[in-house]
């Protein structure tokens, strides 16, 4: 990492960002572009997760102007409910090495672990495991969920979990999963290792070409408490018409995924500001957060610069100005709608989930894609929810109204 630790140790910075994943790196890059004195701290580990995104959302990222960070040709993806849905929206995987290089360009970094953050009225102290100490006017927590240094709003609120077990195979699977598939909600065959599941949470298959082969995952849509990824292994093997041991023998590598869905936001009345997944950016409709973090980074960097100007000299920045841009009020209202949708989906069994998504993907592309965006206006999301409700069969409507009908009708009503 450049520059070295010694060149940063003991210095006074405008901003220290803790967590060198995509979110922290994107914000650090945006701060550099604003001329701020920033240092990015993390373990300097490779980004090994598979990051998927809609191509139109990647193309709108101003922080990546003129840079290509996609992996290979955009994919035409399908979904399966009780029938096949061609989604007509190009999907892509991100090239982690290219993305990392783009977001780290000219960013001062340190390979270290942060032990503690001590906030003060004149400066914040960041204590490292190297016996070094940094001081800064603002500290950003981009360590992922749960945030390591930014306190939660209600720490006892447990999220839903999207979990997955996946294998990378040398060649595409035989059959439908040999085509790029975003969601296949059809039940896997019943086998001795994967018997009938009854009221267990709904799962779907995700199948895409990756750099080292073909990734196939069995994914729990949303469950509370979490379904352990390893419990999905026999379901995935059954879907691939393989014995579990045979599947593992054929695997180039395996993936274990745990994503918090609908996690609570950090408290806003604190000096350490969270960003990315640490700030609750994981989208309850998809489990994605990387693209939204990159989308928000430039605006948050502007807010950081303004917060520094609001308190001149070497005093700490006004963190409230930054919090208001990390979570604008419109985004918070949209999140309430998405959280309600997640809560309803988390109560449905496999048959009901298939029925719901059959209706969802039958909506016009512009309609369902608007619902899935974290930055869509609450008015637009409410309009989609109302349209989905009108289009759904009565069995789905009854399930949507089962939990809190007045709340659903109030939230879904366009304002």
Would you list the domain boundaries of the chain?
A: 5-70+95-154+263-327, 160-261, 330-412
Considering just the CA atoms, what is the radius of gyration of the chain in Å?
Answer: 22
Phi-psi map region of 253: left, alpha, beta (phi>0 left; psi -120 to 50 alpha): beta
Please compute the mean of the pLDDT values over residues 137-155 and round it to a whole number.
85
In angstroms, the CA 164 to CA 396 distance is 26
pLDDT in tens, 91-125: 999 999 999 999 999 999 999 999 999 988 788 99
pTM: 0.91
The more confidently predicted of residues 311 and 211 is: 211
**Residue 3 in this model has a pLDDT that exceeds 50:** no
Where residue 66 falls among pLDDT bands split at 50, 70, 90?
confident
Q: Can you say how many angstroms the Cα of residue 301 is from the centroid of all Cα atoms in its chain?
A: 20
Average pLDDT across the chain, whole number? 89
Where residue 12 falls among pLDDT bands split at 50, 70, 90?
confident
Where residue 195 falls among pLDDT bands split at 50, 70, 90?
low
Please compute the mean of the pLDDT values over residues 286-307 and round it to a whole number.
96
Structural element, H or E, at residue 29: helix 22-33
**Residue 408 in this model has a pLDDT that exceeds 70:** no
Please compute the mean of the pLDDT values over residues 223-242 and round it to a whole number.
94
Phi, psi of 4 (to 5 degrees): -70, 165
Dig out the tokens for 278 from the structure. Answer: 């640490």
DSSP annotation of 411 reads H
Dig out the tokens for 366 from the structure. Answer: 């512009």
Residue with tokens 């950016």: 281
Where residue 23 falls among pLDDT bands split at 50, 70, 90?
very high
CATH 3.20.20.70 fits 5-70+95-154+263-327, yes or no: no
Q: Fold for domain 160-261? A: Alpha-Beta Plaits (3.30.70)
């Amino acid at each position: 990492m450049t520059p070295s630790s010694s060149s940063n140790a003991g210095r006074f910075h405008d901003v220290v960002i803790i967590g060198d994943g995509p979110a922290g790196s994107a914000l650090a890059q945006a701060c550099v572009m604003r001329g701020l004195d920033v240092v990015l701290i993390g373990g300097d580990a490779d980004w090994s997760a598979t990051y998927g995104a809609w191509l139109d959302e990647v193309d709108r990222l101003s922080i990546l102007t003129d840079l290509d960070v996609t992996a290979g040709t955009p994919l035409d993806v399908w979904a399966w409910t009780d029938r096949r849905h061609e989604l007509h929206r190009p999907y892509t995987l991100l090239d982690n090495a290219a993305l990392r290089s783009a977001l780290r360009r000219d960013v001062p970094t340190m390979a270290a672990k942060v032990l503690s953050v001590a906030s003060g009225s004149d400066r914040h102290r960041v204590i490292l495991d190297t016996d070094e100490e940094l001081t800064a006017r603002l500290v950003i927590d981009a360590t992922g969920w749960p945030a390591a240094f930014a306190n939660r709003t209600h720490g006892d609120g447990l999220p839903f979990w999207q979990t997955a077990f996946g294998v990378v195979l040398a060649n595409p699977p035989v059959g439908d999963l040999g085509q790029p598939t975003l969601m296949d909600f059809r039940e896997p065959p019943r086998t001795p290792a994967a018997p009938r599941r009854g009221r267990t949470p709904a799962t779907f298959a995700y199948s895409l070409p990756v750099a080292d082969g073909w990734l196939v995952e069995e994914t729990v849509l949303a469950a509370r408490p979490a379904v352990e990824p390893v419990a999905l292994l026999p379901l995935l093997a059954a879907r691939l018409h393989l014995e579990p041991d045979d599947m593992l023998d054929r695997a180039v590598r395996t993936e274990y995924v745990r994503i918090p869905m609908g996690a609570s936001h950090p408290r806003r009345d604190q000096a350490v500001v969270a960003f990315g997944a640490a700030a609750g950016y994981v989208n309850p409709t998809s489990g994605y957060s990387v693209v939204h973090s990159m989308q928000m980074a430039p605006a948050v960097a502007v807010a950081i610069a303004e917060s520094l100007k609001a308190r001149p000299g070497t005093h700490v920045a006004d963190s409230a100005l930054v919090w208001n841009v990390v979570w604008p009020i419109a985004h918070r209202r949209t999140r309430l709608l998405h959280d309600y949708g997640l809560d309803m989906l988390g109560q449905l069994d496999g048959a009901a989930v298939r029925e719901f998504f059959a209706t969802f993907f039958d909506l016009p592309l512009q309609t369902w894609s608007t619902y899935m965006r974290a930055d869509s206006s609450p008015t637009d999301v409410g309009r989609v929810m109302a349209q989905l409700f009108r289009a759904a069969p009565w069995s789905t409507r009854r399930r949507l109204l089962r939990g809190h009908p007045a709340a659903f009708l109030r939230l879904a009503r366009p304002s």
